[in-house]
C-alpha cells in the first residue's frame, strides 16, 4: 500500500481523497483546518498548513510518502512540486509551477514567448503609487489581482482611477507574497472556456472544455457546463494548439490542468490561466459523469509515477453542469429554495454546505459558496438557458439583520428543510451510483 499526501481537505478536495482510497492507497491529508470535511475520509490527518513548504516537506519525510497531490486549488501547487523535487518523487517542474501559479510571472512568460496576451504589469506592495501613476498606460477597464490567490479572491474590475488604490489594497490583502498585477480586461466572444485537461509525458492527451457561467456584472464563476459551445468549428483545436505550445515550453510532464481561456473579437485564443491541477467547482466530478473519465484517479496515479498512457480523448455524452449555490449579499441563511422543475428533471446530486442560521458571505469569491450541485439536461439550449438564469430556479433566502426572538418560531421549520435536503442528497447519490 502506497502513501499519498493530499494537500487540503475541503469539500472540493474530497473527490481526490476518495480516489486515492479507491485505488487502494493510504490517504494522508494536511492543512491548517482540522474541521475541513475531507479529513474524515483520509487514513490520517496532520494540522500542517499546505502552504508551508518546509513544514510539509518535514512531514512528508517523516511519513516516508510515495506521492504528493495538490487538487482543486493552485495555492498548494508550489508546495507539492517543491516536496516532490526535494524527495525525488514524481511531479511537475518547480520553476514551471511557479510561473503558472503567479499571475505576473505567467503574463511575462506569455508575452516573452509570443502568445496573445493582454497588456499587464506586476507590482509589489512597496510600489502602489507607481501602479497608480501607470493608470494611463492601460486600456480601460482594467483588472486588479493578487498574483498568487485562487478562487477569484481579491480580484476587481475597475474603470475609474479613484477606485484604484482601494482595489490594490484589497488585492494585496489576499496575496501571500505582497504582489499584485494590473492587466487590461479581455472582452470575450461567446462563453469563457473552462474545464480540465491532462498531459502524459508532456502531451495533452485529454481535455474537456466547458462554458463558464457568471452572474451579471460579476467576475466570479458560478458554474461550468459541458460540452463547450465553440465559436467556430476550429475553436477547440486552436485552444489545443496554444495549450500544447505552453506545455512544451514549460517542459511539463504528466498531470492535470484547469483551463481559463477567452476567445476575443478577432477569434484569437487568450490563455487567461492554466492551473497545474484539477479544477475546483466539482469539475472533475462532472467530467466523470459527462465523459466517463476519472481525472482524479489519474492525478493520484501520476503522483506515484504510475503509467497513465491508457488515458485517451473522450467526447462528452449528454449535457452536464456544476453550479455553486450562493447569495448576492451578506446575511443569515434562512432557506434555500430549489424549484420542482430543477429537482425533478436536472439535479443529479447536491450538497448544502452551510446550515440554516449560519452567517454567510456574498459571492465575491469562491469563499461565498454555500452549496454545490451537479445537473444533467436534455439539450444544449436547456442547459445554457437554465445555467444563465439559475436565479429563477435556485433562491437563497437570507436575513441581513436577524432578530433571534422573532425568528424563533421559524427555526424548527428551516432546520427541517436542511435535513430534507441532506436526506434527498443521499438517495439521489445512491441512485446515481
Query: What is the DSSP secondary-structure string of 299-314?
Result: HHHHHTT---TT----
Burial class of residue 186 (count of CB atoms within 10 Å of its CB; 0-12, 13-18, 19+): middle
**pTM as predicted:** 0.91
pLDDT of residue 415: 33
pLDDT of residue 117: 95
pLDDT of residue 365: 82
- Torsion angle in degrees (nearest 10) through CA of 112, 80, 260, 130: -50
pLDDT of residue 65: 98
- Listed in sequence order, the residues at least 6 apart from 241 whose beta carbon sits closer than 8 Å to its beta carbon are none
Which DSSP symbol is given to 190?
A: S
pLDDT of residue 182: 97
pLDDT of residue 11: 96
* Pure H helices in 151-273: 164-172, 235-249
pLDDT of residue 376: 98
- Listed in sequence order, the residues at least 6 apart from 402 whose beta carbon sits closer than 8 Å to its beta carbon are 331, 332, 357
Provide the sign of the torsion angle of the four alpha carbons 78, 224, 41, 356, taken in this order: positive
Buried b / exposed e over 377-403, threshold 16 CB at 10 Å, is beeeeebbebbbebeebbebebeeeee
Whether 225 and 384 have beta carbons less than 8 Å apart is answered as: yes
Rounded Cα distance, 88 and 73, in Å:
23
Domains and CATH numbers, the chain: 3-89 (3.40.50.20), 119-184 (3.30.1490.20), 188-317 (3.30.470.20), 320-432 (3.30.470.20)
Helix and strand numbers (H, E) in the chain are 13, 19
pLDDT of residue 412: 33
pLDDT of residue 165: 97
Consecutive sets of 10 residues in the chain, 433 residues long: mean pLDDT of each?
A: 97 98 98 97 98 98 98 95 98 98 96 96 96 97 93 91 97 94 96 98 98 89 97 96 98 98 96 97 98 98 98 98 95 96 97 95 88 98 98 94 38 32 34 34
Give the pLDDT confidence of 282-293 residue by residue, as tens digits: 999 999 999 999
- Listed in sequence order, the residues at least 6 apart from 417 whose beta carbon sits closer than 8 Å to its beta carbon are 335, 336, 356
Which DSSP symbol is given to 134?
A: T
Whether 258 and 275 have beta carbons less than 8 Å apart is answered as: yes
Identify each DSSP E strand in 241-330 by its residue range: 255-263, 269-275, 319-325
Amino acid at each position: 500500500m502506497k502513501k499519498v499526501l493530499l494537500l487540503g481537505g475541503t469539500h472540493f478536495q474530497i473527490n481526490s481523497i476518495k480516489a486515492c482510497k479507491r485505488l487502494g492507497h493510504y490517504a494522508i491529508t494536511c492543512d491548517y483546518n482540522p474541521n475541513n470535511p475531507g479529513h474524515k475520509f483520509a487514513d490520517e490527518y496532520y494540522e500542517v498548513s499546505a502552504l508551508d513548504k518546509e513544514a510539509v516537506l518535514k512531514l512528508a519525510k517523516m511519513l516516508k510518502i510515495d506521492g504528493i497531490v495538490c487538487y482543486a486549488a493552485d495555492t498548494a501547487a508550489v508546495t507539492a512540486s517543491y516536496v516532490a523535487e526535494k524527495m525525488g518523487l514524481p511531479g511537475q517542474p518547480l520553476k514551471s509551477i511557479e510561473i503558472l501559479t503567479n499571475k505576473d510571472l505567467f503574463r511575462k512568460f506569455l508575452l516573452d514567448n509570443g502568445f496573445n496576451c493582454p497588456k499587464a504589469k506586476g507590482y509589489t506592495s512597496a510600489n502602489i503609487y507607481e501602479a497608480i501613476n501607470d493608470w494611463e498606460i492601460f486600456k480601460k477597464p482594467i483588472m486588479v489581482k493578487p498574483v498568487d490567490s485562487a478562487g477569484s479572491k481579491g480580484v476587481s474590475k475597475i474603470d475609474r482611477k479613484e477606485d484604484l488604490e482601494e482595489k490594490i489594497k484589497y488585492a494585496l490583502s489576499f496575496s501571500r507574497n505582497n504582489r499584485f498585477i494590473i492587466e487590461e480586461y479581455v472582452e470575450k466572444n461567446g462563453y469563457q472556456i473552462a474545464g480540465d485537461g491532462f498531459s502524459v509525458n508532456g502531451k495533452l492527451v485529454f481535455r474537456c472544455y466547458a462554458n463558464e457561467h457568471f452572474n451579471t456584472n460579476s467576475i466570479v464563476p458560478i458554474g461550468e457546463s459541458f460540452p463547450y459551445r465553440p465559436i467556430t468549428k476550429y475553436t477547440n483545436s486552436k485552444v489545443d494548439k496554444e495549450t500544447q505550445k505552453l506545455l512544451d515550453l514549460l517542459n511539463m510532464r504528466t498531470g492535470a490542468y484547469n483551463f481559463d481561456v477567452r476567445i476575443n473579437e478577432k477569434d484569437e485564443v487568450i490563455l487567461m490561466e492554466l492551473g497545474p491541477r484539477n479544477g475546483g467547482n466539482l469539475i472533475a466530478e462532472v467530467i466523470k459523469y459527462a465523459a466517463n473519465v476519472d481525472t482524479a484517479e489519474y492525478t493520484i496515479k501520476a503522483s506515484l509515477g504510475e503509467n497513465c498512457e491508457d488515458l485517451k480523448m473522450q467526447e462528452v455524452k449528454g449535457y452536464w453542469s456544476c453550479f455553486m449555490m450562493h447569495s448576492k449579499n451578506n446575511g443569515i441563511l434562512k432557506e434555500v429554495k430549489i424549484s420542482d422543475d430543477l429537482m425533478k428533471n436536472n439535479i443529479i446530486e447536491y450538497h448544502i454546505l452551510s446550515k440554516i442560521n449560519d452567517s454567510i458571505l456574498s459571492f465575491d469569491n469562491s469563499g461565498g459558496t454555500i452549496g454545490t450541485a451537479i445537473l444533467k439536461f436534455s439539450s444544449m439550449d436547456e442547459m445554457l438557458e437554465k445555467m444563465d438564469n439559475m436565479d429563477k430556479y435556485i433562491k437563497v433566502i437570507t436575513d441581513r439583520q436577524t432578530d433571534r426572538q422573532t425568528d424563533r418560531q421559524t427555526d424548527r421549520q428551516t432546520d427541517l428543510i436542511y435535513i430534507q435536503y441532506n436526506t434527498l442528497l443521499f438517495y439521489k447519490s445512491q441512485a446515481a451510483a
